[in-house]
């Protein structure tokens, strides 16, 4: 998606060679026009996949997941990063955050997904794939099927891409980074 790539080049900030900060348009402040276009791109790719639910992990994936779910005419669920006292029958696992350099629990209420659901997982970044693996575990515990994975920004040179492809999932990334050499992006 050229508009997303251009925005990353103009507004993205490298913290170091591995961490790209996009909080001026995606992770903290939301460029609503850009996110609407991202939702449309995900919709176009997955519209015939029989998606019944769109799932993301709070919080940075919520905006693009919502924009896509609205177009698909289905509900969006976000996996929580802490267990609220209102959860009655939670499913949970732990994931390691490369950005935060720590492990944290993620959870979902058991009844949010059913075995006949076809899930589209959408997230802001794909790097080592740890967030996706946690979501995959939770979705698997419900019996639902992952029908596709939509990623806003993918760092293809890290492990997540290969994991998803080897698992046989339909992966669609809007901006795929092949490498970052001296904080310069080479697109895949």
pLDDT in tens, 13-51: 998 877 899 999 999 999 999 999 999 999 999 999 999
Question: Tell me, what's the pLDDT at 136?
Answer: 98
What is the CATH number assigned to the segment(s) 2-79+112-187? Answer: 3.40.50.2020
- Backbone region of residue 168 per phi and psi (left: phi > 0; alpha: psi in -120 to 50; beta: other values): left
State pLDDT tens for residues 123-159.
999 999 999 999 999 999 999 999 999 999 999 999 9
Task: Give the C-alpha separation, 55 to 121, whole Å.
Answer: 5
pTM, two decimal places: 0.95
Q: What is the pLDDT of residues 106-118, one digit of tens each?
A: 999 999 999 999 9
Mean pLDDT value across residues 75-81: 96
């Amino acid at each position: 998606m050229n508009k997303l790539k251009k925005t990353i080049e103009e507004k993205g900030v490298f913290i170091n060679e591995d961490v790209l900060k996009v909080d001026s348009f995606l992770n903290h402040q939301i460029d609503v026009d850009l996110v609407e276009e991202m939702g449309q791109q995900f919709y176009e790719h997955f519209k015939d996949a029989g998606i019944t639910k769109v799932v993301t992990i709070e919080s940075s994936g919520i905006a693009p997941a919502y924009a896509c779910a609205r177009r698909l005419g289905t509900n969006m669920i976000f996996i929580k990063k802490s267990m609220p006292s209102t959860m009655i029958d939670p499913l949970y696992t732990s994931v390691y955050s490369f950005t935060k350099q720590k492990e944290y629990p993620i959870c979902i209420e058991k009844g949010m997904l059913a075995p006949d659901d076809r899930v589209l997982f959408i997230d802001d970044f794909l790097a080592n794939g740890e967030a996706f693996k946690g979501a995959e575990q939770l979705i698997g515990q419900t019996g639902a099927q992952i029908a596709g994975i939509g990623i806003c920004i993918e760092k293809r040179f890290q492990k997540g891409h290969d994991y998803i492809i080897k698992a046989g999932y339909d992966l669609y990334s809007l901006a795929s980074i092949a490498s970052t050499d001296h904080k310069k992006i080479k697109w895949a």
